[in-house]
Structure 1
Amino acid sequence: MKINRRTFVKSAGALSAATLVPLAGFSKAKKPKYKMGLQLFTIRDAMAKDPVSTLKQVKSLGYQDTEIFGYDGVKSTYYGMKAADFKKLLDDLQLTATSGHYDFSSYFNQPMDKLLSYLDQCIKGAKAIDAKYITWPWLAPDYRTPDNFKILADKLNQMGERAQSAGLGFAYHNHDFEFVAHNGTTGYDIILGETDPTLVKLQMDMYWVVRSSNSTPAELIAANPGRYVMWHIKDMDKVTQDYSELGNGSIDYIKMLSTIDTDALEYYYLEQGGNFATNSMQSITDSAEYFKKYLRKYL
């Protein structure tokens, strides 16, 4: 069939338009909004032995972001490395460390100036690695009373103000004990009600919310807009309710992440505190594979 120039140009233009539209849509749909993060506590054994080769493997698995633990404020070290050296390692691997868990619980019963002095050390360390948040991760069992949760809320407000003044965000991370009722109220109720939402953000551990709270993650986010800036994503063993690799447990993350409001979310971290099927490094490998295949498209 003979095709004149006008017909050819028109047909070619239509073909180009037809191909460009789905390609653009495909590219947009496939590009994640957030970096895939890992809480390094998951692989604390490997980080203690060889943090350099461990982080190289973390990078090779597709993780782009991390959350640290175990900062030594006196020595200003992460995993035995000076903060500046740890930052260089992250940069060389094109990794980031956007948040950190610090040992604030050890200072709970000490004078406030001692706690703030330690916080100042943590601020220095966080800024050295260009972290965005400092996170209070845990409260020792001896302090888990309603009165102490009120004291905690006041401390969190002061710490949040201090961190904010230094250009950092400050957040509180939940476990299960915050959801235990004490005469009709819970520690989490006190934290939510008595902390300033502009100073104290929240890091939601989705596993513990599903296991221990009367509310779902979606309900907590809806009831407290603007507060949940970080999430911990980990699965729950179908029998023991212990931690599990993503995809092996009972939490339907496909349903959760496909419908939940990301609201104020800035960062998320995959985590597994223990109960590894083989070992910690194999667990972060399996969880990364499952997350990239089934869940990353939602974030």
Structure 2
Amino acid sequence: MNRRTFLTQTSLLGAAALLPISSSVPAQHRKLGYQLFSVREDMAKDPLATLKALIKMGYQDFEVYGYEAEKNTIYGYTSAEFRKVLEDLNVTTTSGHFMFHPLLDKTDDELKRFVDQCITGATTMGMPYITWPWMAPEQRTLETFQRLPEKLNRIGEQINAAGLGFAYHNHDFEFIDYDGQTGYDIILRETDPALVKLQLDLYWVMHSSKLTPKELIQNAPGRYVMWHIKDMHKVSRDYTELGNGSIDYREVLPDPQVSGLEYYYLEQGGNFAHNPLQSAADSAAYFKAHLQGVF
């Protein structure tokens, strides 16, 4: 059996039980999303109260983090229990940040086992995407980027075979120049677009890349299925609330259709003006007043 036949057959077997992956999501179906890492302290203390607070602000969809693969738990719930929480609140999770980077130097069997665990969690929670979010500082080298695509392709093939999508999320270190090429150049060039989609962090592109978000998407249309949206402090260039920083998203936002956009998440990893929940509320209010129409 060749690779294409294997992927087709295994995907069909699981299709009835899993959420479909579309090439794009119509604008009227895109929900206001939030990356829950932004409110990580609140989620650690009281996840249910935190979700309810975010829902009151207008958020309807969430990207999760912190899945414990060996236990199949997240935020103190089993993955099945957490899905029930979301269903009871009438909201969704469409992506999760899963900690792949410790597996970079593990065996192929260990990596495959971890990916299987992530698939179990994602499928149970009802999320269509599994996302690689991070690399440790000591891993951010040209040598890592040279061997990373093979692993990303292998992970993507395994996840796609289960009926889910796989994406890579950028920070700033992907845009470090190595004699005329960046780590992001290598990822784009050497990963299979059918297996490895991209989650574009617009803040980090504006912070670190020589290309604009629009230029990146024009070079690989249809591949950027998710966006992270956060603002940049005018002085420190740290994170800040939407509308409080230097990024004019009315000018820099790419065309969602050209991007292949399916889901987007507001995010603020730190540098809160008051506290994480107030920042989430302020960003939601700005987004609804100034940017909602773009989506």
TM exceeds 0.5? yes
Q: CA deviation at 1:234?
A: 0.3
DSSP 3-state at the match of 2:257: coil
Which residue number in structure 2 is paired with residue 40 of structure 1? 36
CA distance in 2, matches of 1:33, 1:131: 15
CA distance in 2, matches of 1:141, 1:262: 34
CA distance in 2, matches of 1:208, 1:116: 30
CA distance in 2, matches of 1:83, 1:34: 24
Q: Is 2:118 the partner of 1:122?
A: yes
CA distance in 2, matches of 1:111, 1:119: 12
Give a deviation string over 1:89-134, Cα, whole Å, max 9, x none: 1001111000000110111111122112111101000000110000
Identity score, percent: 57
Instruction: Give, as a single letter, the amino acid of the residue that structure 1 aligns with 2:44.
Output: A
Please list every run of 5 or more consecutive structure 1 residues that lacks an aligned counterpart in the other structure.
1-30
Which residue number in structure 2 is paired with residue 195 of structure 1? 191
The correspondence of residues 120-199 of structure 1 with structure 2, limited to 5 A, is 120-199=116-195
Which residue number in structure 2 is paired with residue 59 of structure 1? 55
The correspondence of residues 94-105 of structure 1 with structure 2, limited to 5 A, is 94-105=90-101
Please list every run of 5 or more consecutive structure 2 residues that lacks an aligned counterpart in the other structure.
1-26
DSSP 3-state at the match of 2:155: helix
CA distance in 2, matches of 1:224, 1:184: 19
Of the three residues 257, 260, 263, the one matched with 2:255 is 260
DSSP 3-state at the match of 1:60: helix
Matched length:
268
CA distance in 2, matches of 1:33, 1:75: 33
DSSP 3-state at the match of 1:226: coil
Residues 173/184 of structure 1: CA separation in 2 closer, same or farther (3 Å cut)? same
Q: CA deviation at 1:156?
A: 0.2
Q: Is 2:222 the partner of 1:223?
A: no
Q: CA deviation at 1:78?
A: 1.0
Answer whether contact 1:66 1:97 (CA < 8 A) is retained: yes
Which residue number in structure 1 is paired with residue 16 of structure 2? none
DSSP 3-state at the match of 1:262: helix
Q: CA deviation at 1:32?
A: 4.1
Q: Is 2:279 the partner of 1:280?
A: no
Provide the aligned C-alpha RMSD in A.
Answer: 1.1
Instruction: Give, as a single letter, the amino acid of the residue that structure 2 aligns with 1:290.
Output: Y
CA distance in 2, matches of 1:202, 1:105: 16
Q: CA deviation at 1:145?
A: 1.8
> Which of the pair has the greater relative contact order for Cα pairs under 8 Å at 6+ separation?
2
Of the three residues 75, 85, 96, the one matched with 1:89 is 85
DSSP 3-state at the match of 1:276: coil
Q: CA deviation at 1:261?
A: 4.5
CA distance in 2, matches of 1:249, 1:81: 36
Instruction: Give, as a single letter, the amino acid of the residue that structure 1 aligns with 2:159.
Output: A
